[in-house]
Amino acid sequence: MSTTYNPYENAQIQFDNVAKSLGLDGGMCEFLRVPQKELHFTIPVKMDNGTTKTFQGFRVKHNIARGPAKGGIRFHPHETADTVRALAMWMTWKCATVDIPLGGGKGGIICDPPSLSAGEMERLCRGYVRQIWNQLGHEADIPAPDVGSNPQCMLWMMDEYETITGAHYPGVITGKPVGMGGSLGRTEATGYGCIYVLKSLLNLKGIVPESTTASMQGFGNVAEYAARMYTELGGKVIAISCWNQADSKAYTFRKADGCDIVQLVGIKDAFGSIDKEKAMELGYEVLPGDAWITQDVDILMPCALENQITPAVFPSISKQVKILMEGANGPTTPDCDPLIKDRGITVLPDFLANAGGVTCSYFEQVQNNMNYYWDKVEVLEKLEYAMTKAFRAVHELSETKSLYMRDAAYVIAIERVANAVKLRGWI
């Protein structure tokens, strides 16, 4: 029997468990387990065929005690208010875990980006900003790209905001193209950030990356750059699962002696789908979409979707797997955490592992506000420092208090946010 998971309920369950163990008072728990502000709105868009289509948009601010809300906008046909709420909540914990002075936010638009023309996409992006521009701003709420959106979308959004307000505010949105206020290193930041954290963990365990193998879900922005850096360090990616637009199915591409990441990047499209026919010509085995999870590897890297590691699939995970590196948001369901813990698999939890994106977005905003831009080496050095520091704090707490890594990350994040709420006198 399949179980339906609601990401918002998952996020609240994870929060409740840690809040209880921290002994947070009832008022604080009540406040932190729900968003502070939500906007639900419609966006009418003139389509190329002359009709007008109405899209549903969301923007959620979960918590702004530590700074302005920060979080991407997802463009997805199955976007829901609950997904956006969950992701906004995870952004609060993510920013607090890496200790950047930002709160948690998220946005979404129910739409199917591959089916929209560039003109329709531009009108949708501008329409989104027109509905909520007075709630945005580098001191209030700063969106960014996420699933289905890209730097061009962010630039249209920034331009709409600046047109409405009549001045230059590049820091209103991050993930812009380089040269138009974007930061060097932002494209790589989330995937590289995952591997900075993984590298620190392997180091502490006395394992060299060259001796490890991995299997991953996704070959989009996060997965591609995680795979690039992991293989540059000497690790081998044995299998990659991704969605195939052409036949609306997922496939796993497998090469026992290791995938050639640069070669696969050459045959993927803008939505992170690998061309099946070309992959077969290059000698890749093509397996069902969920085969990535059953591979005999040392590290599993879910870098695509939420709710992928569940009690139903857990028994099919190879006993060889020792590390679960969560590049995606919410890839593991809370009812699977006890099984992972019992088997002794080390989790690099999502809101630590994939925090490189928001950390670099923060750097982008700092550069925008200074109107002075760093070179890529400087950005990546700062990113590695921030990610490694956050990892060490979480790992140290997990060792000293014998906590599961996810719980240790939650303890650090929730304590920081609760403290900010208390200091402000809100509770």
Among residue numbers 186 through 245, which ones bind ligand NAD (CB under 6 A)?
190, 217-223, 241-243
Closest CB to ligand NAD among residues 65, 291? 291
Q: How far is the CB of 49 from ligand NAD (least distance, A)?
A: 26
83: contact with ligand NAD by CB under 6 A: no
Q: How far is the CB of 32 from ligand NAD (least distance, A)?
A: 21
Closest CB to ligand NAD among residues 47, 305? 305
Cα separation values, 76 from 7, 57, 115, 271, 322, Å: 15, 11, 11, 12, 32
116: contact with ligand NAD by CB under 6 A: no
Residue from 61, 106, 199, 255 carrying the catalytic annotation: 106
Q: How far is the CB of 112 from ligand NAD (least distance, A)?
A: 13
* Spatial strand order in the sheet of 249-254: 285-288, 249-254, 236-244, 213-217, 299-302, 323-325, 346-348
Considering only 47, 267, 286, 305, the residue that binds ligand NAD (CB under 6 A) is 305
Closest CB to ligand NAD among residues 7, 68? 7
Q: From CA 19, how far away is CA 256, in angstroms rounded?
A: 44
Whose CA is closest to 145, among 137, 130, 155? 155
Q: How many CB atoms lie within 10 A of CB 370?
A: 10
- The binding track of 344-363 with respect to ligand NAD, each residue x by CB under 6 A or -, is ----------x--x------
Q: How far is the CB of 354 from ligand NAD (least distance, A)?
A: 4
Region of 321-329, 338-346, 374-382, 408-416 interacting with ligand NAD (CB under 6 A)? 321-329
Count, residues near ligand NAD per rule CB under 6 A: 25
329: contact with ligand NAD by CB under 6 A: yes
DSSP character for 322?
-
151 contacts 182 by C-beta, under 8 angstroms: yes
132: contact with ligand NAD by CB under 6 A: no
93 contacts 414 by C-beta, under 8 angstroms: yes
Whose CA is closest to 239, among 339, 151, 318? 318
Q: How far is the CB of 42 from ligand NAD (least distance, A)?
A: 24
Identity (one letter) of the amino acid at 174? Answer: T
Closest CB to ligand NAD among residues 19, 95? 95
Considering only 135, 289, 318, 334, the residue that binds ligand NAD (CB under 6 A) is 289
Considering only 88, 303, 347, 421, the residue that binds ligand NAD (CB under 6 A) is 303
Whose CA is closest to 170, among 160, 179, 158, 178? 158
Look up 322 and say whether it is catalytic: no
Considering only 24, 116, 121, 147, the residue that binds ligand NAD (CB under 6 A) is 147
Which residue is it, tokens 């840690």? 18
| Enclosing H/E stretch for 185 | none
Q: From CA 144, how far away is CA 248, in angstroms rounded?
A: 27
Q: From CA 266, how far away is CA 361, in angstroms rounded?
A: 27
177-182: long-range contacts, CB 8 A cutoff, minimum separation 24: 177/151, 177/152, 180/155, 181/364, 181/368, 182/151, 182/154, 182/364
Which stretches within 38-98 are classed as H helix? Answer: 81-97
Q: How far is the CB of 326 from ligand NAD (least distance, A)?
A: 9
Considering only 151, 171, 327, 349, the residue that binds ligand NAD (CB under 6 A) is 327
Closest CB to ligand NAD among residues 140, 305? 305
Among residue numbers 8 through 37, which ones bind ligand NAD (CB under 6 A)?
none
245 contacts 77 by C-beta, under 8 angstroms: no
Considering only 92, 273, 333, 367, the residue that binds ligand NAD (CB under 6 A) is 273
**Could you list the active site residues?**
106
Site residues for ligand NAD per CB under 6 A = 146-147, 190, 217-223, 241-243, 250, 272-273, 289, 303-305, 327-329, 354, 357
